[in-house]
Structure 1
């Protein structure tokens, strides 16, 4: 990807986010001993992104048979990730076997289905690509706990509709935008093949955050600038505050007192 194209993709993302990734996180992420943790958590993030998009389709857009087809699509990935069942190579090329049938007519249903099904396809493809990178670097898959990041955002989602849906979409936009920003900033610090892979993800990640925002605006049918700004502050606090758990979306790395004394 040419530098001009890269700049054009990243600038709107940087403008959308309320803060940049702290230098201390980038320094920690660039440490060779943290590569396994970074890739394992990136792997989980790709699956979580697909699951979040699937939830939105199932909850708001499709009939029961379509919802079940979505569950079956993701099941092999979830079996591998959470139950450590199956060979990861068997995940190559798995696809949705059924057309999605809207459960009700609305101004946004088909757009939600189209955007989120594409997002799921891309995230699951990225999931497989991360597994390939892990294999190339002799990094075995291990279960990893979730970071505080997504839960920290979703804690602020309103509990009544359609505002809850709008807030979830805004949260999705921030998660995708932060991923995009970190891919761009990490790329120069990582081994060449991983750097090339991260650069290759930027176009889809940048589109994902914009798709989430477009859907949020469409469903709210009102100005959502105030909610975007609200979640921007929440997201920036999660990214810039101290965090003892190093993950792909974690905050400023902190060393536990016991580790400091040992050093």
Structure 2
């Protein structure tokens, strides 16, 4: 399948494309360091979001502890500036045994194994992408610096309902939008970058496209067969589109239209 083929449903899913003003800002050489740093942090946050879901809804304590230990070197690098490319390259891999909670009364038991399988694969890929971005930064002599978080994910999460299973459905829909937008931006930005970064961003498209589809599939499974979640998807689509197109003074990978100074 070509890039255009798996991008088509994503462009249909999103209510807007990235504004040209954001692309014009993102392709400036002086913004490359910030863009790569924020991209790397976004990969970690995507993995953390998946981790939160399976720890809350599907895993036993032992498996949760194993996952937390798996994340620790990456989190220590971002939050404590501990470690480097070499040490992260030696990070132990996750074992294949991830055990579900033994809770027959759990509302989510019927689909929890699918949730675990999809989210574990997503986590593995996001942490691998994290490492790849750090590798690019290291080779280019770009030093990691702490940066503030953008408004995008936080603003989406403000709309999550407070009762189950609707809260989980909303979180999964948000996950779909974040992955879809990442895929759309990688595709839009890639042609404006040097050959190495162009090839790297194009290489990410397929996994990001699959992640968005996995999130939507899980959201429908939670809602139940025959339950239409399109209305809720459309509500989040409007919120997401506004965040992407409205003025934003904080330039980040998922920020809105840059404010001209």
The normalised TM-score by structure 1 is 0.94
Structure 1 segments of 4 or more deviating over 3 A? none
The whole-number CA distance in structure 1 between the counterparts of 2:83 and 2:95 is: 20
The CA deviation at 1:189 is: 0.4
- 1:169 corresponds to: 172
C-alpha offsets along residues 124-172 of structure 1, whole Å, 9 cap, x if unaligned?
Answer: 0000000011112221111111100000100000000110000000000
1:142 equivalenced with 2:145 (yes/no): yes
The whole-number CA distance in structure 2 between the counterparts of 1:136 and 1:243 is: 31
After alignment, is 142-151 or 97-106 more displaced? 97-106
The whole-number CA distance in structure 2 between the counterparts of 1:8 and 1:93 is: 37
Q: Say if 2:6 and 2:206, in contact at 8 Å, map to a contact too.
A: yes
Alignment of 1:44-123 (within 5 A): 44-92=41-89, 94=91, 95-97=93-95, 99-103=97-101, 104=103, 106-123=109-126
1:219 equivalenced with 2:222 (yes/no): yes
The CA deviation at 1:87 is: 2.1
Unpaired stretches in structure 1, ≥5 consecutive residues: none
- 2:250 corresponds to: 245
Q: Say if 1:66 and 1:98, in contact at 8 Å, map to a contact too.
A: no
Give the 3-state SS of the residue equivalent to 1:216 in structure 2.
helix
Alignment of 1:4-19 (within 5 A): 5-19=2-16
Give the 3-state SS of the residue equivalent to 1:249 in structure 2.
coil
The two structures, once aligned, show a CA RMSD in angstroms of 1.1
The whole-number CA distance in structure 1 between the counterparts of 2:228 and 2:90 is: 40
Q: Say if 2:187 and 2:205, in contact at 8 Å, map to a contact too.
A: yes
- 2:213 corresponds to: 210
The CA deviation at 1:32 is: 0.5
Unpaired stretches in structure 2, ≥5 consecutive residues: none
The CA deviation at 1:97 is: 3.3
The whole-number CA distance in structure 1 between the counterparts of 2:177 and 2:20 is: 19
The whole-number CA distance in structure 2 between the counterparts of 1:99 and 1:246 is: 41
- 1:132 corresponds to: 135
1:195 equivalenced with 2:198 (yes/no): yes
Question: How many equivalent residue pairs?
Answer: 253
